[in-house]
Structure 1
Amino acid sequence: MTDTKNPGEKTMGVGQGAKTTLTLKRPVEQGVVRQSFSHGRSKSVVVEKVKRRVLGPGDKPESPSAAPSAPPASAPQASAPAPRPAAQPPRPPQGPSASAQPGRPPLRTQPAPGANLSSPRPAPQGSRPGGVVLRTLTEEEARARATALQDARVREAEERKRAEEEARRRAEREAREKVEREAAEARKREEDARRAFDEEAKRKSEQEARKRFGEDTPAPAAPTGAAASAPRAAQPSAPAPRPEVGAPRVATPRTQTMDAEDDDRRPVRRGPGGSPARPAVPPKPTRAPAGAEKSRGRLTVVTAQSADDERQRSVASFRRRTQRMSGHRHVEAKEKIAREVTIPETISIQELANRMAERAVDVIRMLMKQGQMVKITDVIDADTAQLIAEELGHSVRRVAESDVEEGLFDTADTAEDLQPRPPVVTIMGHVDHGKTSLLDAIRKANVVSGEAGGITQHIGAYQVTSPLGGKITFIDTPGHAAFTAMRARGAKVTDIVVLVVAADDGVMPQTVEAINHARAAKVPLIVAINKIDKPDAKPERVRTELLQYEVQVESLGGDTLEVEVSAKAQTNLDKLLEAISLQAEVLDLKANPDRDAEGTVIEAKLDRGRGPVATVLVQRGTLHVGDIVVAGAEMGRVRALIDDKGSNVEGAGPSFPVEVLGFNGTPEAGDRLAVVESEARAREITDYRQRQKREKAAARSATVRGSLEQMMSQAKTAGRKEFPLIIKGDVSGSVEAIIASLEKLGTDEVQARIIHSGAGGVNESDVTLAETAGAVIIAFNVRANKEARDAAERAGIEIRQYNIIYDLVDDVKAAMGGLLAPVNRETMLGNALIKEIFAVSKVGKVAGCLVTDGTVERGQHVRLIRDNVVIHEGKLATLNRFKDAVNVVQSGQECGMSFENYQDMRAGDVIECYRVEVVQRTL
């Protein structure tokens, strides 16, 4: 086994085939190594070790002149060395000239592959006798050196391959560049030849034109020889220099002809050499000023002769030529401008690109990198738009659509601008406890007589004068359970709540609800115990029951004022007003009347003669006729203000209830009203709110996949029947209460679906909508006009009119109950045991049975049970006792039975007989 010092170095060796070269050979030590293998096998291997010369302190390196002059030829059995990679530097020359260079170290050689390594190495001249003998290599060291040698050879082969590949690619690239250069030079030569040809053709056309027009105006002599081949632009405009005196003039046919023509016209002034001088240039035709529009048309012989101007290259042609000459160089990009981009809550990709002054395709590309496949018209959210804008180097300013409402409400007032205002008192309590009667007694009016059914179904606002001289604003709320939203709305806008409790009835459910509304609104409470004039009145019972709901009156040691009153006998009404005034003084109610008005819509309706009418309670500022107001999604200009007595007023201050006329549409009860400075601002606000309403309605109607509970609920209600309705009422609060009551009637099987609702009478469009949807029209305290009635009769649409909410809810409940599927109720009749099976002709199999329990009736439903498993359900076809057909067989008797369309009966089976009753369900 041989080993080289370094695998990457070139070796030199002494071979028998070398003639004129002298090489050095290292001493070789041989040894025998025994290798052990599995299964007890062994093998002796001869190992040769090449010694490395170690120089001692007194040894000198070999002289450069002793180096061999040329590398020896390899032995015949050695393989030819691989060619050096092209990427490596060339091998330095060898020989005497190479080894004799000053400053170069002596060349260290190593044996070539295949050289005779067994011959002893001659000792170099000047070295000490007896060198260091290296130890014999172990098996691991020999294996490691063999592995290193093999890796070096593999690495050298890979480097050689890489160098060859690099050389091949470089040659291909150079060949390709050479072809491109030759093609570019050929194109350049073609362009020069074409340009020279164009110049020559142009020059010849000019000469031809001068020749044709030379009869009237002599043309200057055209240059000949080398000057003619040069471009026209390179010829000097000044006359050519005169030749030396005495130079002979060469006469040509053209010069002779021109001389003759000049002699016929006028004497010619000749130059010193005898050649005629340049004739006088005739005046040029007037041309259009530079930059004027030139009429370009088709180039013909006539246009070329009659044109005043020369035909030149067009701007587009010149641009194309410039692009060809420049090789379509890339135009340097302009400096990017960072902009401040305003981004709303949602924005389309086209609008975002326009605001950033970027290409929309770049924005789409960025979104596609994020995994979003979008179009230019798609809408993205504000967060995504901000990421894109910031990535493109722009700054972002986020705005929300709700910013249009900034500064509309809740502007703080200074303390010096505040002035005392009347208190707003809400009358609340259970139905039929005398709330409206009490308010009528205070106002000395008779509102109760105008209410249908004797119950209040609207919310009203009135203003009275207390015995102490101050103003008090009362808000009357309905006591029916359906008007919860009205009571809540009244509690929100109030300062004091008067809880009316009947002394003969006590605390009722709506009384408790009123207490909760007052606590939620954080307003003080005054208890008015009404109907004390009745014989069965028990005021103490009311005080005691109020303790269960943490309402402790003053007579029981609490802080809640209570007054015993009688609306019918008008007892202690002044005490109630005094208690209200006292509570208002404690609250110290103030507001700023000298500012734009703000208020709340208490009630709204659609009047046939006056249009949309809204009952508004002004809370701050003063509302004037002509103001531009916004309430919810509706706007308008105030046309008139009407107080609670029906009189027109010019202005309404704080705590003053008025009816406002002039809205474009009917606002919703509970909307906040505000005065704005212009119609543009009002339209901007209402557009935003209408858009919000549409989006919410679409979100409610859209069926989106949500959580698992929502999916189960949708699957549960998939087969639900719907009862479509169109509801029209006199005021929006009543419509709201009706919708809330009908929605509570729904079950898992049937539900009322409100297709349309609104305040106002029934019109023709409501009938058309009902015909399309197959709905029923419900009119609450309103009527249908003549056109709507005629259309309903033609279409067969039912218009049901109500004025009491009890009757409306009951009728709808009964109608919805009719949509429920009936229930089949089973009634057990008796059991029978099959004793024997008989085959009867023309009848089939007949079971001989014994009735063990109850009775068995012919034509009723039966079940066949075998081993406690129901085998068949059907009807009993025949029932015989002996040979007679009977209708009923009692317990303990035997009979014969046969089933309808079933013959597989066996002895020992049990027959159950039962009756099925259909029961209609109700809500």
Structure 2
Amino acid sequence: MNDTPDKKPARRPLSLNKGTGAPRRSGSRTTAVVVEKKKKRLIMPGQAPSKAAPKSDAAPKGMEIKKAPKVDEAAEAARKLGLSKAEYEKRQAALSKAQAQQEDRDALRRAEEAERRARMEEEKAALDAKRREEEEAELRRLEAEEEARQKAEAEQEAARRPVGAPTAPTKPVEEQSALEKAGGRIKKKRAAPPPARSKGETKRRRGKLTIVSALSGDNERQRSLASMKRAREREKQRQRGGGGSRDKVQREVVVPEAITVAELSNRMAERAADVVKYLMQQGQMTTMNDVIDADTAQLIVEDFGHIVKRVSEADVEENFLIDDTPSEEKDRKPRPPVIAIMGHVDHGKTSLLDALRTTDVAAGEAGGITQHIGAYQLKLKSGDQITVLDTPGHAAFAEMRTRGAEAVDIVVLVVAADDGIMPQTIESIKYAQAAEKPIIVAINKMDAYEANAQKVEMDLLQHNVITESMSGETIAIQVSAKEKTGLDALAEAIALQAELMELKANPTRNSDGLVIESKIEKGRGPVATFLVKRGTLERGQIVVAGEYWGKVKSLMDERNKQLKKAGPSTPVEVMGLDGAPMPGEPFAVVSDEQKARELTEYRIRLRKEKENVKPSAMASMEQMMAKMADKVSSEMVLVVKADVQGSAEAIKTSLESLGNDEVSARVIYAEAGGISESDVNLASTSGAPIIAFNVRANRQAKELAEREGVEIRYYSIIYELLDEIKGALEGMLQPERRETFIGYAEVLEVFDISKLGKIAGAKVTEGRVERGSGVRLLRDDVVIHEGELSTLKRFKDEVPKVQAGMECGMGFKDYHDLRKGDQIECFTVEMLDRVLD
């Protein structure tokens, strides 16, 4: 032991003695422990276990043996993760469950993959078997045809052989079969020879073409069965002496004034290439899309062996003319009246309709004005239905109002009680009177403080509109769209007027009517609003509207509800046309596509001929002289894109009406639909900005416009658009030169000064003269010079001006031919900005 009492003895770890096998523990005392291993006792069946023997491995007195504690692995793992044992066991159970589910999914996926592969192998085997059967059947058919051909050739050879000529001896079947048994063995009958092949023809490839077989050295193209069949057919025709044995079908061919080569060949049922070849032989180099005249077409038809029927091209249009023959009374049924709400801008037309149908359309219109015609049906409280056309009131939409008046039965003229008769109100009255439509006057805004209905009726007398209160026949109703008063009286007046007119139509005849509006929507294509006047329009029918035609794919009402058919007086949106027709164009149902195509091609050709009419020499000379006289003739080129075709047309008409002889706006392209890359390319080529009305450019068009430097101006209100273009045109005008006379002076003497040149000593006889003003030198009342007054002196001093009766010295800028007695006229010049009327 260590002598130092402060230091404790070093503790040694617990270890086992290798020699004796007894464990040792550290401490002040070391005691050897001997552990005896107890043998297991086997108990035989039927033998009772003996009593427990006393423990022989007990430790000596004073010594205890401590057993090692049992480690709980779950608790230890939970402690390391910072979790409780319950949470750890719960997590382990969840992981085991997820692992089991994943294994189930993997097994299911492997089973499905195996099933799919087996199914694909079965389908592939079935397709291969079917293909092999088809090839074998085709080969058998070709072999049969070859045998038949050889048999026919043998018969022809026998027929050509002279009578009595020796023929090859034929042996009976029994003798042939006996001869085949030679040398004790039976010879098989030789199979039929394979089909004869032309020289250089290789054996047809059979089976699938694989990469190995394609690269195995035989790179020559193999002939197909169809190629072999065509070769045999050509050989047969050659042996028969050509293909002229078939009878040619003679047809009656309708030949208009102008027709394309492709269309003529189609009507003759001949190949277009043959017709082109015929024209080339005649010295005319044409293609299938070239147009030929009626005389050339007649020669072609006659040379091809057909019968010619000459017709005028206008006959196509005449045959399309809508049949106005009235139907029998028993076939005519009552139809709803079609009314048009017309009047001045901001007089409450759309608000009045909102009050009738309890919806808010005015909120959807930019600036609170109607930009295009809206067509829809209203069901009144009485149960009656009316079809309404809400026409714009702005001056730019005059043509749309005209179309609205032509398409309707009754015109409801809306006049504001506070504003009275306005310019567009007068235009609406003229349209209704020209179309001979009855007018119902709705005096709106009766809730306003300045409302005066009597004054409105008095003003209407000036335009031949006499109301009932003025002893006339025109119905006048006082309403207020804001307070919703007088609406029942207005609806009753419309129903009464419709009853007096006895509106009826035949729903069973071919449908016809008018195009109210058209547009091109993204994802839907051309969409046109039709107003059916007579007949019933159904899905699947072929319609022609203006220069466009198509099969009706979809019919929808104003609530986007799909319809199967639309009867008389029904507005409906139609999809299926190949373009957006112009509003106001009539539409009608035709029997087949051929008639529709002929009619639209004729109309397109007629329009192009009108556009390409060259001005006469006199007109060209007049234009040239006018430009020389004006010296300046500026033109603003524009591209217009709008949401609907009617708006595009109205904007084009309004823009081209602006300007005068010096400046003008020319719209080179006006269509409905969004701005595309082709529109930007057109604007870039022509150097024109793009006017976008309620439409936007797509991303590609925007990027192209930025690269090309094309300006796109967006508008949503019509009068803002017109005001800006008008301002731009006024900026292009040359300023007006205004000249003001200020005085006369007479030259008394002429002085020659070395530094200044000749100076006129003059006396102001009238008005005054000013330095810097314009002057004209008159000699014998003839103007010989016009320039500027550079020097004005009174005695020796420069003065700004000299009054009448005084003498002064006057010098001209860059002019010195002055004489005694000359007259000097002085004037001032102002440059004023000009405006368009």
Q: What is the TM-score when the length of structure 2 is the normalising length?
A: 0.62
The runs of at least 4 aligned residues of structure 1 exceeding 6 Å deviation read: 339-343, 374-386
Q: State which drifts further: 885-894 or 445-454.
A: 885-894
Q: Distance in 1 between matches of 2:435 and 2:752?
A: 85
Q: Residue 432 of structure 1 aligns with which residue?
A: 346
Task: Specify the SS of the correspondent of 1:400.
Answer: coil
Q: Residue 693 of structure 2 aligns with which residue?
A: 780
Q: Contact between 2:533 and 2:568, CA under 8 Å: does it hold in 1?
A: yes
One of 648, 651, 658 as aligned partner of 1:735 = 648
Q: Residue 111 of structure 2 aligns with which residue?
A: none
Q: Distance in 2 between matches of 1:651 and 1:341?
A: 36
Tell me the amino acid that sits aligned with residue 514 of structure 2. T
Task: Specify the SS of the correspondent of 2:463.
Answer: coil
Tell me the amino acid that sits aligned with residue 593 of structure 1. P
Q: Contact between 2:258 and 2:313, CA under 8 Å: does it hold in 1?
A: no
1:534 equivalenced with 2:444 (yes/no)? no
Q: Residue 800 of structure 1 aligns with which residue?
A: 713
Q: Residue 622 of structure 1 aligns with which residue?
A: 536
One of 567, 575, 593 as aligned partner of 1:679 = 593
Q: Distance in 2 between matches of 1:810 and 1:464?
A: 36
1:608 equivalenced with 2:522 (yes/no)? yes
Aligned-residue offset at 1:397: 6.2
Q: Residue 403 of structure 1 aligns with which residue?
A: 315
Kindly report which structure 2 residues correspond to 1:421-820, keeping only aligned pairs within 5 A, or say none: 421-699=335-613, 702-705=614-617, 712=622, 715-716=625-626, 720-820=633-733
Tell me the amino acid that sits aligned with residue 739 of structure 1. K
Aligned-residue offset at 1:886: 3.8
1:919 equivalenced with 2:832 (yes/no)? yes
1:883 equivalenced with 2:793 (yes/no)? no
Q: Distance in 1 between matches of 2:754 and 2:761?
A: 16
Tell me the amino acid that sits aligned with residue 626 of structure 2. K
Seen in structure 2, the aligned counterparts of structure 1 residues 604 and 905 have a Cα distance that, compared at 3 Å, is same
Tell me the amino acid that sits aligned with residue 902 of structure 1. Y
Seen in structure 2, the aligned counterparts of structure 1 residues 715 and 880 have a Cα distance that, compared at 3 Å, is closer
Q: Residue 103 of structure 2 aligns with which residue?
A: none
Q: Residue 124 of structure 1 aligns with which residue?
A: none
Seen in structure 2, the aligned counterparts of structure 1 residues 644 and 918 have a Cα distance that, compared at 3 Å, is same
Aligned-residue offset at 1:919: 2.0
Task: Specify the SS of the correspondent of 1:875.
Answer: strand
Seen in structure 2, the aligned counterparts of structure 1 residues 859 and 525 have a Cα distance that, compared at 3 Å, is closer
1:415 equivalenced with 2:325 (yes/no)? no
Seen in structure 2, the aligned counterparts of structure 1 residues 651 and 863 have a Cα distance that, compared at 3 Å, is same
Q: Contact between 1:879 and 1:886, CA under 8 Å: does it hold in 2?
A: yes
Aligned-residue offset at 1:396: 9.4
| % same residue | 57
Q: Distance in 1 between matches of 2:370 and 2:797?
A: 72
Task: Specify the SS of the correspondent of 1:818.
Answer: helix
Q: Contact between 1:467 and 1:578, CA under 8 Å: does it hold in 2?
A: no
Task: Specify the SS of the correspondent of 2:353.
Answer: helix
Q: Tell me, which stretches of 5 or more residues in structure 2 are unaligned?
A: 1-250, 269-282, 302-306
Q: Contact between 1:851 and 1:892, CA under 8 Å: does it hold in 2?
A: yes
Q: Contact between 1:466 and 1:578, CA under 8 Å: does it hold in 2?
A: no
Aligned-residue offset at 1:614: 0.9
Task: Specify the SS of the correspondent of 1:835.
Answer: strand
One of 770, 776, 784 as aligned partner of 1:857 = 770
Tell me the amino acid that sits aligned with residue 597 of structure 2. R
What do residues 717-773 of structure 1 show as CA deviations (whole Å, max 9, x unaligned)? 576321111111111111111122122213111211111111112222112111111
Tell me the amino acid that sits aligned with residue 740 of structure 2. T
Q: Distance in 1 between matches of 2:252 and 2:391?
A: 53
Aligned-residue offset at 1:662: 2.1
Q: Tell me, which stretches of 5 or more residues in structure 1 are unaligned?
A: 1-338, 356-373, 390-394
Q: Distance in 2 between matches of 1:553 and 1:499?
A: 12
Kindly report which structure 2 residues correspond to 1:325-364, keeping only aligned pairs within 5 A, or say none: 344-345=256-257
Q: Distance in 2 between matches of 1:380 and 1:687?
A: 14
What do residues 649-703 of structure 1 show as CA deviations (whole Å, max 9, x unaligned)? 222111111111222211111122222333333222222222122122222xx32
Tell me the amino acid that sits aligned with residue 910 of structure 1. Q
Q: Contact between 2:518 and 2:528, CA under 8 Å: does it hold in 1?
A: yes
Q: Distance in 1 between matches of 2:465 and 2:802?
A: 70
Kindly report which structure 2 residues correspond to 1:123-142, keeping only aligned pairs within 5 A, or say none: none
Kindly report which structure 2 residues correspond to 1:147-186, keeping only aligned pairs within 5 A, or say none: none
Q: Distance in 2 between matches of 1:375 and 1:634?
A: 32
Aligned-residue offset at 1:492: 1.1
Seen in structure 2, the aligned counterparts of structure 1 residues 717 and 668 have a Cα distance that, compared at 3 Å, is farther
One of 755, 772, 784 as aligned partner of 1:871 = 784
Q: Residue 898 of structure 1 aligns with which residue?
A: 811
Seen in structure 2, the aligned counterparts of structure 1 residues 909 and 447 have a Cα distance that, compared at 3 Å, is same
Seen in structure 2, the aligned counterparts of structure 1 residues 879 and 541 have a Cα distance that, compared at 3 Å, is closer
Q: Distance in 2 between matches of 1:347 and 1:798?
A: 42
Tell me the amino acid that sits aligned with residue 495 of structure 1. D
Task: Specify the SS of the correspondent of 1:905.
Answer: coil
One of 731, 735, 757 as aligned partner of 1:822 = 735
Q: Distance in 1 between matches of 2:530 and 2:735?
A: 50
Q: Residue 325 of structure 1 aligns with which residue?
A: none
Q: Residue 173 of structure 1 aligns with which residue?
A: none
Aligned-residue offset at 1:463: 0.5
Q: Which has more radius of gyration?
A: 1
Task: Specify the SS of the correspondent of 2:612.
Answer: helix
Kindly report which structure 2 residues correspond to 1:838-849, keeping only aligned pairs within 5 A, or say none: 838-849=751-762
Aligned-residue offset at 1:554: 2.2
Aligned-residue offset at 1:375: 9.8
Kindly report which structure 2 residues correspond to 1:348-387, keeping only aligned pairs within 5 A, or say none: none
Q: Contact between 1:863 and 1:870, CA under 8 Å: does it hold in 2?
A: yes
Q: Distance in 2 between matches of 1:613 and 1:381?
A: 36
Q: State which drifts further: 444-453 or 781-790.
A: 781-790
Q: Contact between 1:880 and 1:896, CA under 8 Å: does it hold in 2?
A: yes
Kindly report which structure 2 residues correspond to 1:256-405, keeping only aligned pairs within 5 A, or say none: 344-345=256-257, 398-405=310-317
Seen in structure 2, the aligned counterparts of structure 1 residues 520 and 887 have a Cα distance that, compared at 3 Å, is closer
Q: Distance in 1 between matches of 2:438 and 2:756?
A: 87
Aligned-residue offset at 1:424: 0.8
Aligned-residue Cα RMSD (Å) equals 3.6
Tell me the amino acid that sits aligned with residue 770 of structure 1. A
Task: Specify the SS of the correspondent of 1:855.
Answer: strand
Task: Specify the SS of the correspondent of 2:402.
Answer: helix
Aligned-residue offset at 1:505: 2.1
Q: What is the TM-score when the length of structure 1 is the normalising length?
A: 0.57
Tell me the amino acid that sits aligned with residue 745 of structure 1. L
Aligned-residue offset at 1:816: 1.1
Task: Specify the SS of the correspondent of 1:437.
Answer: helix
Seen in structure 2, the aligned counterparts of structure 1 residues 348 and 613 have a Cα distance that, compared at 3 Å, is closer
Task: Specify the SS of the correspondent of 1:478.
Answer: coil
Tell me the amino acid that sits aligned with residue 847 of structure 1. A
